[in-house]
């Protein structure tokens, strides 16, 4: 394999951004600017599809590995994918073009700067998912803060400054401890190469502290209760495309990190801290679901529902069962599609009415029927109706949880009911009911691009709901090997 396909995936959006940088942005060539960005990200998407086709599902080895000396005798630039990471790359390259299409209505000024930020963000996120060196991983993981800070701060809503600062400082504070841990691992093992570290393992004496350091970073990013408070603020203030990126991809970096690093590198510590994760996850599921129930702002409601959904993900990961981890990954993919779609749905009505409050709306089903149908699909997917991808994920996670800890699984199942309650109630209040607000009558239904974006998201949501095999086949071997390795290390160490 000579063609450096992963590096191309990382670099291509940045090249597009560089091109945009040299294109003067004004009213006239907004069109060109947008199509350049769209073209780059679409090309990236097809490249990643090609990657998926070439991908060998029968092995858990890392594929398409590229290695170059970066800092001599210290760090190698090393990238590669296995079954776990490839789906996240696909998700990233799939969501980004949709984000770019969606800027039509929401971003009025400094369009080309916005697209540059989005494209650079895409580069960084792909980098996170395919880096096989801890330092490179950290680099991409942290670098993503810069474009996201600017996206929230420049193009956000009224309290954007507060939210941008909160987002940045929260995540930075979480991550610095991870940097200490990474350097410590280098000091202990003499390498930060993930494959080498998988082979050699990390000294058991240090595992607990290292695990906590990584946890501090991932917990903030996931976000887990009680450090989730930045998320609702960031979501509410970010422009629609920013919320979509944040919910669909940024949050997944932490879930991915838990599987790749917490489980892979520190099995003994993961075993010790599983109860902690269970408790925090269950609190996240139940507690934030209740909070979501009481929200009056649609975006905030979806943000809290994201926290609850990520609670399932962390729960599933730390069951260390085949079903649990598979479920977590599918839940992340599904949440990526569904939350992106829900934020876009909110964006659609916000662009028309400039209000995100639920009580502004009501009875719009007869005015904008197409919107109502698509919104319904995503609502049902979010609450995990069988036949949608949300169901597959939640079902597998709960199955894994029942195998591991009955009580936790029962409590988490209750969360499903509350989840259904707040999503359905949201849908009822927005779409059904009496049409009280007369301004709503002037709303126009989805235009072509909105219809296109939402259908693009609806198709995989339903498809993977009925037929999740393509996803499961991709991740199956990698996960079973991960679990074998985990149990093997554990047996050797305890």
Partner 1 sequence: MENLQLLLPEIFLSLSIMFLLILGVFKKNSSKLIQNLSLIILIITAVVTFNETIGISNTKLFNDSIIIDYFSSLMKIITLLAAFLVLIISSNYLKTFQIFKIEYPILILSSVLGMMIMINSNDLIVFYMGLELQSLALYVLATFNRDQIKSSEAGLKYFVLSALSSGLLLYGCSLIYGFTGSTNFNVIANQLNSNEYALTFGIVFILVGLSFKISAVPFHMWAPDVYEGSPTSVTLFFTMVPKIAALTVFIRFLYVPFLNLIDQWQMILIFLSIASMLFGAVAAIGQTNLKRLVAYSSIGHVGYALAGVAAGSNDGIQSSVIYITIYVIMNLGLFSCLLMLKRNNQYYEKIDDLSGLSKNHPMLSLSLLIILFSLAGIPPLAGFFAKFYVFKAVIEQSMYFLAIVGLMSTVVAAFYYLRLIKIMYFDEQKEKYDTDHGFWLKFSLTASTLLILIYFIFPSQLIEVFSRINIIQ
Binding site for partner 1 (CB under 8 A): 69-72, 74, 135, 138-140, 142-143, 145-146, 149-150, 153-154, 160-161, 164-165, 168-169, 172-173, 176-177, 179-180, 183-184, 186-187
Interatomic CA distance for residues 265 and 184, integer angstroms: 13
- Using the CB atoms, write b or e for 251-264: b if 16+ within 10 Å: bbbbbbbbbbbbbb
* End-to-end CA separation in angstroms for the chain: 40
- In the numeric block, the tokens 């494959």 are attached to 195
Note the Cα 475 to chain centre separation in Å: 17
Angle (nearest 5°) at CA 126 between 122 and 130: 170
C-beta of 143 vs 367, nearer to partner 1: 143
Nearest Cα residue to 331 out of 343, 346, 315, 344:
315
CB of 121 to partner 1, least distance (A): 13
CB of 232 to partner 1, least distance (A): 20
C-beta of 173 vs 272, nearer to partner 1: 173
CB of 127 to partner 1, least distance (A): 10
C-beta of 146 vs 376, nearer to partner 1: 146
The conformational region for residue 66 under phi > 0 = left, psi -120 to 50 = alpha, else beta, is beta
Joined tokens for residue 299: 């975006």
The answer to whether residues 9 and 47 touch, using CB atoms and an 8 Å cutoff, is yes
C-beta of 207 vs 274, nearer to partner 1: 207
CB of 140 to partner 1, least distance (A): 8
- In the numeric block, the tokens 């925090």 are attached to 280
**Longest Cα pair distance anywhere in the chain, in angstroms?**
69
CB of 188 to partner 1, least distance (A): 10
CB of 172 to partner 1, least distance (A): 5
CB of 184 to partner 1, least distance (A): 6
C-beta of 193 vs 326, nearer to partner 1: 193
C-beta of 51 vs 107, nearer to partner 1: 107
User: What Cα–Cα distance (Å) separates residue 471 from each residue in 95, 289, 383?
Assistant: 17, 28, 20
C-beta of 141 vs 343, nearer to partner 1: 141
Angle (nearest 5°) at CA 250 between 244 and 254: 145
Note the Cα 353 to chain centre separation in Å: 28
């Amino acid at each position: 394999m000579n063609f450096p396909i992963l590096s191309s995936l990382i670099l291509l959006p940045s090249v597009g951004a560089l091109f945009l940088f040299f294109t003067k942005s004004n009213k006239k060539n907004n069109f060109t600017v947008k199509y350049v960005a769209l073209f780059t990200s679409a090309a990236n998407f097809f490249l990643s599809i090609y990657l998926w086709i070439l991908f060998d599902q029968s092995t858990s080895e890392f594929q398409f590995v590229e290695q170059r000396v970066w800092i001599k005798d210290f760090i190698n630039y090393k990238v590669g994918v296995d079954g776990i990471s490839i789906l996240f790359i696909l998700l990233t390259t799939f969501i980004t073009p949709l984000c770019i299409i969606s800027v039509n209505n929401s971003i009025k000024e400094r369009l080309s700067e916005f697209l540059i930020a989005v494209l650079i963000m895409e580069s960084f996120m792909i980098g996170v998912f395919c880096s096989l060196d801890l330092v490179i991983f950290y680099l991409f993981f942290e670098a993503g803060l810069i474009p996201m800070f600017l996206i929230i701060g420049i193009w956000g809503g009224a309290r954007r400054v507060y939210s941008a600062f909160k987002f940045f400082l929260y995540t930075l504070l979480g991550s610095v401890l991870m940097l200490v841990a990474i350097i410590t691992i280098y000091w202990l093992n003499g390498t930060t190469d993930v494959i080498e570290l998988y082979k050699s393992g990390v000294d058991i004496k240090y595992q607990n502290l290292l695990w906590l350091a990584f946890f501090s970073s991932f917990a903030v990013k996931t976000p887990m209760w009680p450090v989730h408070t930045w998320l609702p603020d960031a979501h509410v203030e970010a422009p629609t495309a920013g919320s979509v990126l944040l919910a669909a991809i940024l949050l997944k970096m932490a879930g991915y990190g838990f599987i790749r690093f917490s489980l892979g590198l520190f099995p003994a510590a993961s075993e010790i801290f599983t109860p902690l994760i269970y408790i925090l996850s269950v609190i996240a599921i139940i507690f934030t679901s209740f909070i979501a129930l009481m929200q009056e702002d649609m975006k905030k409601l979806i943000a809290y529902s994201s926290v609850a959904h990520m609670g399932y993900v962390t729960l599933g990961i730390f069951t260390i069962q085949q079903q649990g981890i598979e479920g977590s990954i599918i839940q992340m993919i599904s949440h990526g599609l569904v939350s992106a779609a829900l934020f876009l749905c909110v964006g659609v009505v916000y662009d028309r009415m400039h209000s995100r409050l639920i009580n502004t709306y009501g009875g719009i089903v007869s005015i904008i029927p197409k919107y109502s149908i698509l919104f319904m699909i995503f609502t049902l997917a979010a609450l995990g109706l069988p036949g949608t991808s949300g169901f597959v994920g939640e079902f597998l996670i709960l199955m894994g949880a029942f195998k591991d800890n009955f009580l936790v699984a029962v409590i988490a199942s209750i969360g499903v009911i509350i989840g259904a309650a707040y999503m359905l109630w949201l849908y009822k209040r927005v779409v059904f009911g009496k049409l009280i607000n007369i301004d709503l009558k002037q709303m126009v239904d989805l235009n072509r691009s909105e219809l296109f974006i939402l259908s693009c998201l609806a198709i995989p949501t339903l498809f993977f709901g009925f037929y999740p095999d393509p996803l499961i086949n991709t991740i199956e071997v990698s996960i079973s090997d991960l679990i074998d390795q985990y149990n093997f290390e554990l047996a050797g160490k305890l």
